[in-house]
Amino acid sequence: MTLAIIGGTGLENLAGSLEHREQKTVTTPFGDAWLTKGELDGSPLIFLARHGLTHATAPHNINYRANMRALKDEGVTNIMAAAAVGSVKNEIKPGDFVVIDQFIDFTKNRAATYSTDGEPLYHTDMTEPYDGGLRRLLMTAADAKGVSLRRGGTYVCTEGPRFETAAEIRMFQTLGGDVVGMTGVPEVVLAAELQMPYAALCIVTNYAAGLAGHGLTYEECADEMERRQATLMDVFMSAAKAGKLL
Ligand code: HPA
């Protein structure tokens, strides 16, 4: 298999630790994507920086179609992604890790499919959007490293880049949401359309609006991400090494 790891903020060092690495711009019919190709313990690994080369692309402007198509064109067979999230529930705390197993889509304005009016037309099954084998890989890696994590959770994806209102978060609670983020959809959907099994490990960077007891700032999220960065990278490296046995 050829594994890709998709990271937002906090996983840049992973790309830097690949052997024989090469930074590459991949041009697709949907636009360009930037990735690092290399090897980990002799197996191919591709790191894709979701927010682009300079981390400047906002969640609602990310070119998800170019990113996923570039991975497919580079021969990727499996994807593990990291995502920063806010917690919608008191018992899920900043600093926690969650291997999500469902999503609810509240995005509004994104190119969310490769379907066209002719071919291809995808009505993709999303009953279980996250791959069971890859989820187990992430959970086993965390267990082996002594990192506790939640085994399952529903990810609510918002359009961003603004944070939510307190009322929106109360609504997400009643809908069964566990965590809220801005980048998980349509990434997982597009991966499915291109038949690349996908799993995501979320890092809780903050309590969501109304639970925090104060207004939210991006800095608060970035600080928590920084605190968990080394552990996050450890879990991904360990899962990737185990994954080559798949
Ligand atoms: N809301 C949406 N996205 C996020 C949050 C949040 O509270 N924290 C990190 N990403």
Find out whether the beta carbon of 235 lies less than 6 Å from any atom of ligand 1: no
The reported pLDDT for the residue numbered 122 is: 87
Q: Whose CA is nearest to atom 9 of ligand 1?
A: 85
Range 3-245 classified under CATH 3.40.50.1580: yes
pLDDT of 246 > 80? The answer is: no
Mean pLDDT, rounded, for 137-149: 95
Closest-lying ligand 1 atom to the alpha carbon of residue 158: 2
**What is the pLDDT confidence band of residue 154, given thresholds at 50, 70 and 90?**
very high
Find out whether the beta carbon of 189 lies less than 6 Å from any atom of ligand 1: no
Higher pLDDT, 72 or 11: 72
DSSP 60: G
The pair of structure tokens assigned to 235 is: 């879990």
The reported pLDDT for the residue numbered 171 is: 98
The reported pLDDT for the residue numbered 86 is: 98
How far is the C-alpha of 198 from the C-alpha of 188, rounded, in Å?
A: 6
Separation in Å, CA 181 to CA 19, 34, 40, 50, 92: 32, 22, 29, 14, 14
The reported pLDDT for the residue numbered 176 is: 98
The number of beta carbons lying within 10 Å of the beta carbon of residue 168 is 18
172-181 pLDDT, tens digit each? 999 999 999 9
Residue in 182, 176, 190 with CA at minimum distance from that of residue 163: 182
Q: Which string of DSSP letters, residue by residue, matches 117-186? A: SSS-------SS-S-HHHHHHHHHHHHHTT--EEE--EEEEE--SSPPPHHHHHHHHHTT--EEESSSTT
Ligand 1 pocket test: pick from 62, 169, 206 the residue with the most ligand atoms within 8 Å of its Cβ: 206
Q: Whose CA is nearest to atom 3 of ligand 1?
A: 181
How far is the C-alpha of 67 from the C-alpha of 48, rounded, in Å?
A: 8
Find out whether the beta carbon of 206 lies less than 6 Å from any atom of ligand 1: yes
- Beta-carbon contacts of 90 under 8 Å, excluding residues fewer than 6 positions away, are 207, 211
Mean pLDDT, rounded, for 124-139: 97
**What is the pLDDT confidence band of residue 13, given thresholds at 50, 70 and 90?**
confident
Domain locations in the chain as residue ranges: 3-245
The runs of H, that is alpha helices, within 7-157 are: 12-16, 64-73, 132-144
pLDDT of 245 > 70? The answer is: no
**What is the pLDDT confidence band of residue 51, given thresholds at 50, 70 and 90?**
confident
The reported pLDDT for the residue numbered 26 is: 96
Which of 37-46, 49-58, 83-92 reaches the highest mean pLDDT?
83-92
The reported pLDDT for the residue numbered 193 is: 97
How far is the C-alpha of 155 from the C-alpha of 87, rounded, in Å?
A: 10
17-49 pLDDT, tens digit each? 899 999 999 999 999 999 999 999 889 999 998
| Average pLDDT taken over every residue of the chain | 94
Find out whether the beta carbon of 203 lies less than 6 Å from any atom of ligand 1: no
- In contact, 60 and 113? CB cutoff 8 Å: no
Q: 73-92 in b/e burial notation, b at 16+ Cβ within 10 A? A: ebebebbbbbbbbbbbbeeb
Find out whether the beta carbon of 202 lies less than 6 Å from any atom of ligand 1: no
Find out whether the beta carbon of 86 lies less than 6 Å from any atom of ligand 1: yes
Find out whether the beta carbon of 10 lies less than 6 Å from any atom of ligand 1: no
Compute the C-alpha angle 196/101/159, nearest 5°: 80
